Structure 1
Amino acid sequence: MPNNQFKRGELYSFITGMASTAIARRLQKKFKQEGLEITIEQWSVLYHLWKLDGMSQQDLCNATFRDKPSITRLVDNLEKQHLVKRVPSKEDRRMNMIYVTPEARALQDITMEIANQTLNEALEGVSPEMVEVSKQVLQRVYDNLS
């Protein structure tokens, strides 16, 4: 028996997509209000590099769920803004490792604070228990389809 509790026309991807888009739009608006000239897509790359500096472009593809052309474009633009630098890999000369610059490090605290504020706004009125259940359900859906 199907476990789909949604009415006709209600889809997981539609609901999660709407929430994700609303959060991204709010975050982009707040970055702009603070005079930060980075996009949400660029910020997501920086976020992963702040966690693990010196990732390959393929690792960034995997971490951000983006394809190679998208990551190449994002890294190109971040490099033009002096927020990342490409360094040839010591193990494989065909591969570049991506590192954040001091300018990008300077953005870390303020952008993370803005992201935390935005998530707090998004989760207003949602109990920690509901958040945990939602995370578990979405992880299970992802795992089922991976």
Structure 2
Amino acid sequence: MIHNNIYFQIELTARKIRQYGQNVLRSHGIDITIEQWLVLNVINDNETTNQIFIGEKLVKDKPTISRMVNQLDKKGFIIKTSSSSDSRQVSLSISKKGKTLIHNLQPIIEGIRLKGLQELSEKESQHIKSILNKIQKNLDT
């Protein structure tokens, strides 16, 4: 019965995507998670940003984002800069090491994406995107 539930299928698919991606990263000796990769991308796409913005973009809670940001900082992939007016405010940017990682990972990540979509036509891919966007819109509050 649960396997017929569309929400279960969506969640199962998302988990398989993350698991496959993590296995590929591990096989290349890359020491970040798929979730950390997403955080890096949000920071990279937004020059200088903060944890609140990242949490909103990735729909993740503050403790989860904080933990990932701290791990990325510890690995040297991002730079945390405290505000001169409010020490609680921290800006995040990509370090040189992080830029190199992003550059090197782009083809690997693209391969991960293509693997899951390899037998879908362009029309099918667009249809899935449309359906998922409708579900997300229906659930916006």
Alignment match, 1:128: 122
SS of equivalent to 1:20: helix
Q: TM-score, normalised by structure 2?
A: 0.91
What is the TM-score with the length of structure 1 in the denominator? 0.88
Give the aligned partner of residue 5 of structure 2: 11
Aligned counterparts of 2:52 and 2:69: Cα–Cα separation in 1: 12
| Cα deviation digits, residues 74-128 of structure 1 (max 9, x gap) | 1111111111121123675431111111011001122221111111111121111
Q: CA RMSD in A?
A: 1.5
**Counterpart check, 1:108 vs 2:85:** no
Letter in 1 for 2:112: T
Q: State the distance in 2 between where 1:59 and 1:123 align.
A: 29
Structure 2 equivalent of residue 31 of structure 1 = 25
Correspondence for 2:74: 80
Structure ranking higher in helix proportion? 2
Gaps of 5+ in 2: none
1:62, distance to aligned residue in structure 2 (A) = 0.5
Alignment equivalent of 1:95, drawn from 85, 89, 97: 89
1:5 matched residue in structure 2? none
Find the aligned partners of 2:23 and 2:47 in 1 and give their Cα distance.
27
In 1: Cα distance, 2:122 partner to 2:75 partner: 38
In the TM superposition, what is the alpha-carbon distance from 1:37 to its structure 2 partner? 0.7
Alignment of 1:36-47 (within 5 A): 36-47=30-41
- The size of the alignment, in residue pairs, is 139
Percent identity reads: 23
